[in-house]
Structure 1
């Protein structure tokens, strides 16, 4: 679903013509559907004047809602375009206006526009109002505006350092209300004290959402625009791109416990593989993937449907058992249903935990709601990758994708050097003769198996979709073909394109991205490629200490990059001690 475009802006007075012009310009430039104007400083008697209302109109077809009756000067004035959406207020106080937004054919969602007080005690009243007006489970909820407080010490730059007791109340509200920071792009801080001496920058304005929002609007995010005529920056909710990427095939680990899948694998396995070993292996994987996709049980939704069907059968049997509690056949049916329900629940839990990639799940954590939130949060932050490139409203989605690819191509694909002098290459160490044999010996089946079984079962696979768990659990069937393929690489020094293909994805370095440079690309390699890389790394592990110099501290096991910094500091300290003693 696509959410409407909504902004919240602490304009610091909406009575002057330049402030009205700034709001109109923001609405027009971003095609806003709704805007919350905060700290507008308008007296409640002014809105009774038709000329005043007409001169402060920002939409052609406008309706509005305010809380002017709750304070002497206006604090929140909500305006929306009636030809695009409808807003039904459900709660109004001096610090918040909340209501249901109806947008097109989408399900309604709860919107809470916040302008928190500067007083900490008054903000506690607001936190209680937010808790009391939280929606029912399953209703999307978004809170936006000026919260007048921060979540983290890093949200403030300059001035006194934020203490934990100043952050406690706000973070407690977020925790108990099950809220999350929506992914954001643009500038980092939303308020500036406008001083050249001792400047202070703080992030006071933000957007928070619940888990239902991330489920319904997974591509939504907000942008923090530069301030124009105010010391606060406007925060603008955007729907994200409208292009749905094609889902990659991903092997589900719970399939391995199904007899149907094992039968499918054995029927796909050729009696006598033909051709080059790597080609034969990938021919098997390709055919197996096609066969799996054609089966109805391969979809994760089938597990959910099966669980719902079992729950209905369980309720029906329990109803019959209440009428005839001594009926053995009904009791036996309930027992069988419970066994099937436990098995289906384990399958679904396995799939969700595989997608969430939380390592401490092995210790017994089974909070599926938490796992869903982890999946939705990770997707929400990653899907903002193209947004910094689309900061210019004239830039289309395809142009933004092209610009993003060009950016990383310039970084990772520098122009080739036409000439290269081998004499400029630094002289290294010579590998001792006794290590040469260990590097050049052909790979054994035991080495290959060890490399496979040392891989993480839930590691993200490459384009082929098969992870380490697939090869581990089917080793008795696929092991021979994998060993032959890896050995063929040793003898021929060749990997087919299908095996070495990678899927590149962008990972945000932080939760707030200001530019495309705040993302880093990673390559998702196929498992067979990872197996060969593990074998080569294991061979070179004993040789690397002879090649790497002792002063290199970064990216080395049991060394950290700060070692050299500490060493340099100690040398300078020792040098100063000697100089002072002289």
Structure 2
């Protein structure tokens, strides 16, 4: 756009009562006279639909309101901006037979806007926490390396998801019920899965709770950070059991730089029911949101393979220790 080119953008939140819609249409007609030679866009929640195919579910007679909406747009010289994504932008959040979907949100432009930006369009996202399509929080600019930007945006999404959960009923009652169920479940888990004894690597049995805990810690310290990690292995001793030794050409293929397609393929190869990481996000989340988050996640992964640097909050995991199911609840660490 030229530095001296003017643009007028109006954000609309239409009245919920149909009788009050006429005030909006009249205002748009008045503004149209002032914006005839200026790039003009009007967008937001009009609380009205333009056609019966913009409603799914049981609704009252909306034909008159629809005709008034279309007449108001026509008088104002506005035309719809092309849209991609979800057709319906509002839901009454009901799971009963009275579930209702409508397309209440849209963006309209004048002919000068169309001539200036003939390929422009907007994207309608899936409704989440609000009953309307959400703002794209992922597009916020974060200063830092790609991996840091991804982790900050994932963290910023957490309050949004928490709000979504809170909106599903009486929060206080749900918390009390959940707390009661959790207490019962944890008590049952302590009774059924308590480790009463453990055998160390030398075969000695320990029944003291402190000694049991010490053996667990010692075992995993040795496993994850012990001297055995520094022991070298002569692969010549493994050759008799190797069914196939890779060729030089295959080895060179393994050393090729990763591409964006490789990152996406790796993500989509992870099953949806795999346990999420410590941040709570599963592979299913990333796959469902890939059109939005894929580019930035890919950039973060490729940056790691390029620099070899991994953030502490990414390089973490949760170890859940569960005993073997035996009559004595005995776990042997050998």
TM bin, normalised by shorter chain, reads 0.3 to 0.5
Which structure is richer in relative contact order (CA contacts within 8 A, separation 6 or more)?
Answer: 2
TM-score of the pair, normalised by structure 1:
0.27
